[in-house]
């Protein structure tokens, strides 16, 4: 449980301590340079060769850090300054070039290490493709063996394809966790499903395992935020620890050119931002990931990566509203 | 009335009969391989040299079929499995390289042939530019000479430019049909007009011929679905057969890079999807086309073609709700 | 006050006087070719080397005029024909290749000249980057020295960075005007602010100088049009003359690829169009500019420039509703 | 023979007569504004709906004129100032929107008109697709009925597909002329053929009709300029008048993204420039065209159009070397 | 040795037997549809998750087959008709989604199968990344265990990185084969090396193992074709069987946008074509592959894939020159 | 003479001292971290708002450093390891946001500072646009007042436009230096001129001031390397110190999409590489710059920036051949 495979982040944080940080890259600090317990630990899981179709999602962690320079720490809408919230960047998990299983184990071990050593700190993993979620959740299980984990998934897909057929690919994480007895199907709530993107047999699997499927249409009808709140309340009653996984393909294709699996009929960026703010506010949420964004396919103006950074800041803004 | 100019579809359908199809390309079948009466016949009209400005809409039928592989037959929002609805692909009408009039006649003849031989089957033409609609409607008139045809047009433009000036170009189909006494102006309802895209003289023509113009703004105010329902009810009372023409330029430019004539202020993809679902539900609707999508101008992620396939599946989902 | 630096517009207006214009390029006339007092004078300020980051906004005036050919003079939504509203194109202010201060002075002088010689005519400046707004407002002050000017700013940013540090760059115009005593902070209303794009010290400056900040979220909650109306009412009571500045980066990044500073969470094109219509209706509005659109970064279908032309036509449509 | 269908060029030439022109757009003059006999008349034939595959070559004439602003009249390599050579721009032939035959006739009539009225002036047609060449050569035949015409064709393809099958499409012009007895096959020399781009039956046709085929490989072996010179000498002996047709697809795909039919293995830009200089020097050359360049597919830096303008200037430089 | 993992090619060959084929897609035949022994068997190895950096080279086999439609079977330069040379398409080796080792084994087994069953037929593998070459060569070793294999490699890189560090990644194939005693270093000749793209330790490895390194500069100095001939002669004397591997990154970056690892200073397309023609002529060459072309990164006009098809046809043209 | 305006380079050099560097980013060291006298000092001059047309050449220094990671220190063609040559990165000159004159002075002062403090070290400036060259040469003059400076310019343009008209823009540097008596016209040799890109009056200026103009065509005829050698010999005899300025627009447009001013008919990348190798070998060459590369316009594969890095390494390889 004590091993980790972290590589120091490549960027060099060089903001003078005395100055108040006003930009994100002056605010986030490398984990190995701070002594207090951080409020949130960020780490990258740069793997996407486990993706069914060609993906450059492995490039997201570094691009995420490159684009955050365009953001300040001040949320004007909520009138909140994030600079007092301590975010530590633990760098990226070192991936093997061709051994996918080994890479996956390292993500698991590293997540377990971070969760165990910083038990009161939120973790935030930046993928990587969606296969990384199975690793991270197993890592958390490893760290807190007795605790029951629930998952709130924002996703266009169920991701319950069969690992016996595909191996631990990006279409399989939820099934890996259910079949592996890490998480119960009834403790998984998927919000964002829509359209013609999940084959009937996958829906049958989800139904058999009591995965809660909330289509985007249903969620909009009952209020997206109500739906999120309801899901978090419900999970809070049933589990000890909530893991949020945000597959960026939940976004509509018109705002997410950098997510090859995004589709027409998905969430707008504003909807995603509102969801993340709400999720951040909830005290049971300890773990979150953002996966499947391939910056090599993004638009010339990096629209999708900017949405990714914004969504992450919304989650942190939400956290600021909690009593500390 | 018995001639057709169909070329077998290029793709090779090879799904084993015994397996339940879960993806669109396993579900749609070539017309010449099936024996039952299909519920819907699909055919392409790959011409765009009749377009006023340069257009590659002739490439849409084959690209449409290529991109449908990304869709399953299960509509999660409506909880409907399309696989019991029999869709037959009749292939494309053979176009002449330079003789536009001849090509147009072949579209007309082929439509007449399909309508006459499969009188209880819905037809769905994939254009091609909007000039094809005039051909198709004339073909239907040829097949059902006594019947009165009404048109519901989703379009940013009126398409009533003068064929005496332009020939049978893509800006003229509605005027061709009105001037040619195939359809009465009062039996044409255009929903989706907006902005600064129809010159005053065209509006004057439409007014003189009693074309019903509903701006997108008006439609949104009274409810887009109400507007669609109202239009279909009205037409049902007045005509024997409703033809739907979807000019993809009705979509907003932000979601339709692949439609050169799309503009700011147009329909969102979700609005179009909702319209098509509603249209599919209506029993008087026998014919539909989707035109003016130029895949060679589409975004790298094929956003517009994906919207095109989705819209078509929505129409079919709607059809599933009808008593059979 | 009598000097100007206008270069005749490059395009050659050649519509026969006798024909009713139906397209924008037949309707707008070069200023030097008309004798009546125009209703609106258009002029370009093609400078963007004053931009903090690399910008081709200097190319916007000519691209704006090139793309207006795709628009008719008939607004179908409002059922208004613009052709009776006299728009004169005064051409572009001649810019120096490297002397930014001189170029800025020319914009100021030219604006003063136009405002003084056509005191009852609305002016509309097409930027260039946002530094041009400071020049234009100073020019108007020069022309109407006694009058009090108020500013309604549609913008994602406050643009109150310090010119002592940056010189008269595009991040500084509002501060130039406040520090230069041309406009009072309390007479500036910014609508459209959102997200993480204004550093805390800038917000502090704005607060200290009583700039009225209305976030997009707040504006949406109270109704965007109500907010615009309220702002115009309030300014009308306090000032003699209202200047509207539209930084195109107020638009959401998904609809404004051609505005490098646009961000997720911004205004939709429809919202901007509605605002401009409302603004045009208000009799106190005499001056407007559109800035920061870089056509060299626009999408292949010129989405952003098309939105720019549409927004400008909406303003004119609004003007048509005023009693004349 | 006296009819023409020319539309005045859209650009407005406004260089003061007294100033020496230094840039191309100050040097070329609209035909209707000059009184002397020009040395060369330029005219556009903006049609590409006669193209087998989708083409925007109809946009080339206007783009050609837009990009020539980047060129001066001084050829530094040859130390020649072009400004004393009188180039007149006759504008574009007016094309019908859908009637290809009519459009083709207008090109023919207009070419006949120009050739007949300016018998000592070189003509230069800017296409359009390659179907325009058949029209232009027929027009010249019309003007100089007794004369024998020879063709030097720079092309990757033979363009002898069968008009009985395709109509007068862009793959057929040479065959149209041979089958129509306008030009003899033995008086056609094609230089630039290479690779796998001409099907066997077309080569058989060319052989049967004694078209002289020189592969690019052969030409390079014997010297490209020698080959050009030899071809011109040979034709000079056999015919009265030489027509040059430059299908821009003769260029290698790496330098001609704006020519959809360009292929690997083609000519370099430098080779093309050298050929054109040589061709210009030859006194028997009276007519030239440049066809098949689709600017809508060109690279972001307009590489192909720039090569097109350069090649045309090389031809004119060559002409300057002739005794006048 | 009898197992294979081939999936039938997706395209449907439907050229009537009686007609002479004139295009490549009418000429190549699916292996399972022919009875004679083919002259060359084509098979795809669509894997690139073994690539060090993100690669879509797995998409090349299908794109290769899609683009060959633009080529005829007639080589005009050499005056050779390929249609009598029997090319069979065996389809693609079925790849596992995440198990790289298993996928590699299948490539090896399938190559062994084809080599053993068609011992007199040339094999041509379409990759995939360069890791596939190690598999293919091992497969051939498996089939012809006693024979000594030599490799002629056209490549910018040595590809001798250490599999102990990277696993069987695309930078390692030559080292895998040397360390695995399949091929001797002295029997490997690399032509095409240049510039700053091979770290010193790799060059040291190559030197120690007597790999023959010929820089592109040296090859050009002594004549590229002489160099190729010399290399083939030399290998013929030393080995029983020559395997050619063409890493498409040997091409210069200016002609190979679709090869992410291509660099400035590489081979021109013409040089590559000449090499392949020469290689094809040599009777000892039994096996060839083309690897590392990522069509998802290719230019809009598919320049690199077209070069890939052309190069392959040159090889076949070469084969035609051998006595049969 | 002692002032400088350098900002430390942003990248963090973190290669362990003990390890032999094999990649460029492990080899180059920040100037402030080393104690020996470096062999070459690199510094950036990131300004392009002085450019006549819109340019992002200010982004080149940082992009240059980002892309050098793809290069090793081993030159395979010349069999030379660069790692013993000490390259120090001094970072970028701090530019003012809007004060071009001040920015230019800082470049001059900083160059003077570096030249004076490291008199035996070569300097290499990475622009920025070509206006920076005038600053750098003036700085060198400031440092070595008595010495006579000669310039070898690789450029498509003369860059002798009139600063009295344009200010110190990128078209003026050579004229600034001649008119300012810093360099004599006869001590300037321009190699690479070609085509139609220098207006007659500029050629007249060059002739009057005895600038030596060598067209690319002439240079190729007499051997490009001979021409370079001859030019360096000649200058060596006449001046004390040779400054090399490489305007990247000397490259042909087909290999330099990232240089907006590149043209058809320019140098190939290989030619440029050969020139730089030759230049580096010459002992009189003490100063060099590379200017006018705009990475924001580069191709998706960063072709032009890669050529820029390669060219710079060629210069250093050349230096290695000098006796040390």
Percent of all residues in chain B with a pLDDT value above 90, rounded to a whole number? 92
Residues of chain B with a CB closer than 8 angstroms to some CB in chain E: 10-12
Answer yes or no: do E98 and A168 touch at CB < 8 A.
yes
- As a whole number, mean pLDDT of residues B58-68 equals 96
Tell me the pLDDT of chain F averaged across its residues.
95
Position C9 scores a pLDDT of: 77
Position F324 scores a pLDDT of: 67
What subunits make at least 3 CB pairs under 8 angstroms with B? Answer: A, C, D, E
Q: How many pairs of residues across B and C have Cβ atoms under 8 Å apart? A: 71
Position A319 scores a pLDDT of: 97
Position A2 scores a pLDDT of: 62
Answer yes or no: do D20 and F200 touch at CB < 8 A.
yes
pLDDT in tens, D205-227: 999 999 999 999 999 999 999 99
Position D234 scores a pLDDT of: 98
Q: Is the pLDDT of residue B12 over 80?
A: no
Position D281 scores a pLDDT of: 97
Q: Are strands C285-291 and C241-247 parallel, antiparallel or unpaired?
A: parallel
Q: Do chain E and C touch: 3 or more Cβ pairs under 8 angstroms?
A: no
Which residues, 6+ apart, have CB-to-CB distance to D204 below 8 Å?
Answer: none
Nearest to F75 among E196, E253, E263 (CB): E196
Using CA coordinates, name the residue in chain F closest to D254.
Answer: F254
Buried b (16+ CB within 10 A) or exposed e, E196-214: bbbbbebbebbeebebbbb
What subunits make at least 3 CB pairs under 8 angstroms with E? Answer: A, B, D, F
What span, in angstroms and rounded, lies between the C-alpha atoms of A175 and C268?
A: 39
Q: How far off is chain F from D258, nearest CA to CA, in Å? A: 12
Q: How many pairs of residues across B and D have Cβ atoms under 8 Å apart? A: 47
Q: What's the residue count for chain F?
A: 324
Task: Domain D6-320: give its CATH architecture.
Answer: 3-Layer(aba) Sandwich (3.40)
Using CA coordinates, name the residue in chain F closest to A299.
Answer: F300
Percent of all residues in chain F with a pLDDT value above 70, rounded to a whole number? 98
CB atoms closer than 10 angstroms to residue B9: 23
Contact list, F12 vs chain A (CB under 8 Å): 10-12
- As a whole number, mean pLDDT of residues C180-190 equals 98
Per the CB < 8 A criterion, the answer to whether F41 and F118 are in contact is: yes
Tell me the pLDDT of chain D averaged across its residues.
95
Using CA coordinates, name the residue in chain B closest to A266.
Answer: B270
pLDDT in tens, D83-100: 999 999 999 999 999 999
Q: Assign residue C274 a region: left if phi > 0, alpha if psi is -120 to 50, beta otherwise? A: alpha
Q: How confident is the model at residue D10 (pLDDT cuts 50, 70, 90)?
A: confident
Per the CB < 8 A criterion, the answer to whether F188 and F242 are in contact is: no
Best mutation target, E269, E298, E301, to test chain D (most D CBs within 10 A) = E301
Nearest to D196 among E20, E75, E270 (CB): E75
Q: How confident is the model at residue E323 (pLDDT cuts 50, 70, 90)?
A: confident
- As a whole number, mean pLDDT of residues B252-276 equals 97
Answer yes or no: do A48 and E54 touch at CB < 8 A.
yes
- As a whole number, mean pLDDT of residues E120-147 equals 97
Q: How confident is the model at residue B324 (pLDDT cuts 50, 70, 90)?
A: low
What span, in angstroms and rounded, lies between the C-alpha atoms of B193 and B267?
A: 10
What span, in angstroms and rounded, lies between the C-alpha atoms of A4 and E74?
A: 61
Using CA coordinates, name the residue in chain A closest to B313.
Answer: A196
Nearest to A253 among B22, B72, B303 (CB): B303
Q: How far off is chain D from B260, nearest CA to CA, in Å? A: 12
Contact list, A10 vs chain F (CB under 8 Å): 12
Answer yes or no: do E77 and D201 touch at CB < 8 A.
no
Q: Is the pLDDT of residue A1 over 60?
A: no
What subunits make at least 3 CB pairs under 8 angstroms with C? Answer: A, B, D, F
Residues of chain D with a CB closer than 8 angstroms to some CB in chain F: 20, 22-24, 71-77, 81, 83, 254-255, 269-270, 273, 299-301, 303, 306-307, 310, 313
pLDDT in tens, C135-149: 999 999 999 998 999
pLDDT in tens, A79-92: 999 999 999 999 99
pLDDT in tens, C233-242: 999 999 999 9
- SS3 at position F304: helix
Residues of chain F with a CB closer than 8 angstroms to some CB in chain E: 20, 22-24, 71-77, 81, 83, 254-255, 269-270, 273, 299-301, 303, 306-307, 310, 313
pLDDT in tens, E49-102: 999 999 999 999 999 999 999 999 999 999 999 999 999 999 999 999 999 999
Contact list, D313 vs chain F (CB under 8 Å): 196
Q: What is the ipTM of this complex?
A: 0.95
Q: Cis bond leading into C128, ω under 30°?
A: yes
pTM assigned to the model: 0.97
- As a whole number, mean pLDDT of residues E231-244 equals 97
Answer yes or no: do C203 and A76 touch at CB < 8 A.
yes
- As a whole number, mean pLDDT of residues B82-91 equals 96
Answer yes or no: do F273 and E263 touch at CB < 8 A.
no
- SS3 at position F39: coil
Q: Is the pLDDT of residue F64 over 90?
A: yes
Q: How far off is chain C from A324, nearest CA to CA, in Å? A: 22
Position C212 scores a pLDDT of: 98
Q: How many pairs of residues across B and E have Cβ atoms under 8 Å apart? A: 5
Position B323 scores a pLDDT of: 80
Which residues, 6+ apart, have CB-to-CB distance to D117 below 8 Å?
Answer: none
- SS3 at position D1: coil
Contact list, B254 vs chain A (CB under 8 Å): 254
Q: Is the pLDDT of residue A324 over 80?
A: no
Position D292 scores a pLDDT of: 98
Per the CB < 8 A criterion, the answer to whether C167 and C262 are in contact is: no
Contact list, E10 vs chain B (CB under 8 Å): 12
Per the CB < 8 A criterion, the answer to whether E190 and E214 are in contact is: yes
Q: Are strands B80-81 and B87-93 parallel, antiparallel or unpaired?
A: unpaired
Q: How many helices (H) and strands (E) does chain E have?
A: 11, 12
pLDDT in tens, B149-166: 999 999 999 999 999 999
Position B19 scores a pLDDT of: 75
Tell me the pLDDT of chain B averaged across its residues.
95
Q: Is the pLDDT of residue F192 over 60?
A: yes
What span, in angstroms and rounded, lies between the C-alpha atoms of B242 and B149?
A: 6
Position F160 scores a pLDDT of: 98
Q: How confident is the model at residue C2 (pLDDT cuts 50, 70, 90)?
A: low
Q: Is the pLDDT of residue F2 over 70?
A: no
Q: Is the pLDDT of residue A18 over 80?
A: no
Answer yes or no: do A169 and E59 touch at CB < 8 A.
no
Percent of all residues in chain E with a pLDDT value above 70, rounded to a whole number? 98
Q: Which two tokens stand for residue B131?
A: 């000039």
Q: How confident is the model at residue D8 (pLDDT cuts 50, 70, 90)?
A: confident
Position C20 scores a pLDDT of: 78
What span, in angstroms and rounded, lies between the C-alpha atoms of B55 and C201?
A: 51
Helix (H) or strand (E) holding A315: helix A303-320
- As a whole number, mean pLDDT of residues B298-312 equals 97
The greatest distance separating any two alpha carbons of chain F, rounded to the nearest whole angstrom, comes to: 58
Contact list, B212 vs chain C (CB under 8 Å): none
Nearest to E197 among F72, F269, F301 (CB): F72
Answer yes or no: do A23 and C201 touch at CB < 8 A.
no
Tell me the pLDDT of chain A averaged across its residues.
95
- Give the residue extent of every domain in chain D: 6-320
Position F9 scores a pLDDT of: 77
Q: How many pairs of residues across D and E have Cβ atoms under 8 Å apart? A: 71
Tell me the pLDDT of chain E averaged across its residues.
95
What span, in angstroms and rounded, lies between the C-alpha atoms of C126 and C294?
A: 12
Per the CB < 8 A criterion, the answer to whether D261 and D192 are in contact is: no
- As a whole number, mean pLDDT of residues A145-173 equals 97
Answer yes or no: do D257 and E73 touch at CB < 8 A.
no
Residues paired with residue B189 on neighbouring β-strands, in sequence order: B152, B212
């Amino acid at each position: 449980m004590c091993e980790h495979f972290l590589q120091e982040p490549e960027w060099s944080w060089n903001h003078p301590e005395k100055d108040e940080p006003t930009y994100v890259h002056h605010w986030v600090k490398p984990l190995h340079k701070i002594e207090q317990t951080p409020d949130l630990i960020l780490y990258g899981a740069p793997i996407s060769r486990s993706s069914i179709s060609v993906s450059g999602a492995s490039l997201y962690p570094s691009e995420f850090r490159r684009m955050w320079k365009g953001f300040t720490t001040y949320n004007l809408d909520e009138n909140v300054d994030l600079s007092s919230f301590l975010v530590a960047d633990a760098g990226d998990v070192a991936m093997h070039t061709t051994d996918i299983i080994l890479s996956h184990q390292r993500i698991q071990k590293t997540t377990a290490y971070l969760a165990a050593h910083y038990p009161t700190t939120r973790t935030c993993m930046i993928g990587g493709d969606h296969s990384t979620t199975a690793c991270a959740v197993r890592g958390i299980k490893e760290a807190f063996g007795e605790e029951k984990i629930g998952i709130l998934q924002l996703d266009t897909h169920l991701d319950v394809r069969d690992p016996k057929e595909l191996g631990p690919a990006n279409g399989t994480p939820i099934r890996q966790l259910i079949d592996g007895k890490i998480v119960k199907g009834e403790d998984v709530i998927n919000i964002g499903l829509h359209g013609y993107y999940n084959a009937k047999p996958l829906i049958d699997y989800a139904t058999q395992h009591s995965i809660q499927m909330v289509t985007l249409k249903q969620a909009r009808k009952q209020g997206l935020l109500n739906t999120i709140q309801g899901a978090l309340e419900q999970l809070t009653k049933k589990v000890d620890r909530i893991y949020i996984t945000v597959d960026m393909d939940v976004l509509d294709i018109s705002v997410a050119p950098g997510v090859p699996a995004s589709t027409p009929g998905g969430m707008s960026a504003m909807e995603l931002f509102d969801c993340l703010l709400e999720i951040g506010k909830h005290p049971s949420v300890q773990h979150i990931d953002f996966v499947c964004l391939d910056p090599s396919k993004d638009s010339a103006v990096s629209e999708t990566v900017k949405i990714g950074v914004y969504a992450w800041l919304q989650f942190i803004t939400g956290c600021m509203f909690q009593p500390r």
